[in-house]
Structure 1
Amino acid sequence: MNIGQPPDPYTVLGLDPDATAAEITAAYRRAVRDCHPDAPHPDRDRLAAVLAAYRRLRAQLADRASAEHQRRSETRSADGCSIPVRVRLRTPAPTPDLRVGPVRHHPDPR
């Protein structure tokens, strides 16, 4: 390991580099549970490494998603078939005022 280089986040969490977002989250939660300060044998150094690794992986996933979204939007506009659509949500018709005046008691006509 190089000094000054952060450890590989996949190695810290025990994952393959092609792990999905759900697998990353599950591994993170498992690792935090194992080294949490309330655990029987807490490991604060490992906890810090797990938190940093998860933060890096989440940032990478967000960057990948953003790049994919950008690529898709560029492809759509390059094809020339992007048509702007205006969506109007209809508001429901106003309901009539259903309040009733005072209720009068009518004695039983028996």
Structure 2
Amino acid sequence: MAGQDHYATLGVPRAATDEEITRAYHRLVRRHHPDTGPPATSATHLEAVLAAYAVLRDPARRAEYDRSLSQSPVAPPRPAPPPRRTEPAIRVGPVRYHGPSRPG
């Protein structure tokens, strides 16, 4: 996982607190776990999330990682994709009463 920005992997800023990092980790593990996500992509994403959390949860390893980031430029994080809309919006108009039907 060399050259990968662990902060971008977890989707947190570099000034994130330990609580924010842990919350992001739990959210991503639930999303990319093989039992809950698509198995083809979940394994690689889960490995990246686990590696990022292993570095950022330990204060000494995080400080060393931050020092290495300050020495080498890192590409800015990718913008978040727009939210997906799975179902079309349902539009309901006024309901009209036509009275009882007449036999014809």
Normalised by the shorter chain, which TM-score bucket? 0.5 to 0.7
AA aligned opposite 1:23: E
Extract unaligned runs of 5+ from structure 2. 64-104
AA aligned opposite 1:57: L
On the 8 A contact 2:10/2:24 being kept in 1, the answer is yes
On the 8 A contact 2:56/2:62 being kept in 1, the answer is no
Secondary structure of 1:16's counterpart equals: coil
Deviation by residue 1:2-39 (Cα, 9 ceiling, x = unmatched): xx724111000000000000000000000000000111
On the 8 A contact 2:55/2:61 being kept in 1, the answer is no
Deviation by residue 1:56-88 (Cα, 9 ceiling, x = unmatched): 101236766xxxxxxxxxxxxxxxxxxxxxxxx
* Aligned counterparts of 1:33 and 1:22: Cα–Cα separation in 2: 17
TM-score (norm 1): 0.49
Select which of 37, 61, 75 maps to 2:34: 37
* Aligned counterparts of 1:14 and 1:26: Cα–Cα separation in 2: 11
Return 41-50 or 25-34, whichever deviates more: 41-50
Select which of 14, 18, 21 maps to 1:21: 18
Q: How many residues align?
A: 61
Larger Rg: 1
* Aligned counterparts of 2:16 and 2:7: Cα–Cα separation in 1: 9
Deviation by residue 1:82-103 (Cα, 9 ceiling, x = unmatched): xxxxxxxxxxxxxxxxxxxxxx
The percent identity for this pair of structures is: 44
TM-score (norm 2): 0.52
CA-atom RMSD in angstroms: 2.1
Extract unaligned runs of 5+ from structure 1. 65-110
Q: Which has the higher contact order (CA 8 A, sep 6+)?
A: 2
